[in-house]
Amino acid sequence: MRKEFEELRSYVAPNANQITAFKANPTKNRYQDVPCIDETRLVLTLNVPPETDYIHANTIKMDGVDKQYIAAQGPLEETISDFWRMIHQESINTIIMLCKTCEDSKQKCAQYWPEVGGENKTYGSMFVMNKKTEHEDRFETYVLEVLPEGCSNSTLVKLIQMTDWPSRGVPQSGFTVLRLLRMIPLGAATVVHCSAGVGRTGTIIAIDTILARLWKSQRIKVPEIVKEMRKQRAMMVQSEAQYVFIYCTVLDYIQAKQPNKYREYVHTFHEEVRNAEMI
């Protein structure tokens, strides 16, 4: 696994340098060293003009997966309106947030929604109301109503925030991620974001892709899956720990399905990973 990830470090997608919109909108990019590929970038059309069509987000379609993703950076204060325009435009019904707004005393994402049930806020031309808030172990869930100015048709969206995934690190258990993946519906596109929208975001999309292909008995090569993602969004899966966590979580899933057959193998694998200090 360590060798695989080292080889991936040098992989550059053929379209990686096609980032014209990214370069033209520096104030809308959270990190200037995390580009947004032109070919797959999500183009905003709602309220354009006078507003712009750019948001740091890419559509992700993985072979063998009956889900569509939009991988995005965590909104900046000045891009919250753009984010909600995207949600309404694409009829998104689920947002997966894999970071906290502040981590290690650094802002990782703007507070882009009203936190308290019954509260509403207006972001630019977008009205957002918190209809319901639920607190669960390792998850915060919000049901939000989104309505553009001058529009009578609102969008209901569920925001699921996973609260125990550290930046560039991994959760303590893959089972938390497996719980989260069960919450993502088939069909409509799901927005997934962390801070940069490539590390934690890429990790969870890779895991979901592998599980979908397992169900269809398709051939699986993790390095090829990472490359497939990086052709659509640059820098997906940032750290060795995240890469190893993909394997760990998939094996946790296999063990849960067939515990008697794979328990000893999975236990040994986890021990070897810990001893090698890969996670």
- Helix residue ranges per DSSP H, the chain: 2-9, 20-24, 80-89, 174-182, 199-215, 222-230, 240-257, 259-275
Question: Token match 């200037």: residue?
Answer: 32
**Of residues 128, 149, 131, 152, the one with CA closest to residue 141:** 131
**Are the beta carbons of 176 and 164 closer than 8 angstroms?**
yes
Q: Which of 36, 109, 194, 248 is labelled catalytic?
A: 194
151 belongs to the catalytic site: no
Taking residue 132's Cβ as centre, other Cβ atoms within 10 Å add up to 12
For 234, half-sphere exposure in the C-beta direction (CA atoms, 13 angstrom radius) is: 21
Burial of 128 (0-12, 13-18, 19+ CB in 10 A): buried
The amino acid at 254: I
Of 201, 166, 242, which Cα lies nearest the Cα of 34? 201
State the DSSP H helix or E strand holding residue 121, giving kind and residue range, or none if neither: strand 120-123
Residue pointed to by tokens 């890429």:
202
β-sheet bridge partners, residue 97: 161, 193
The residues assigned a catalytic role are 194
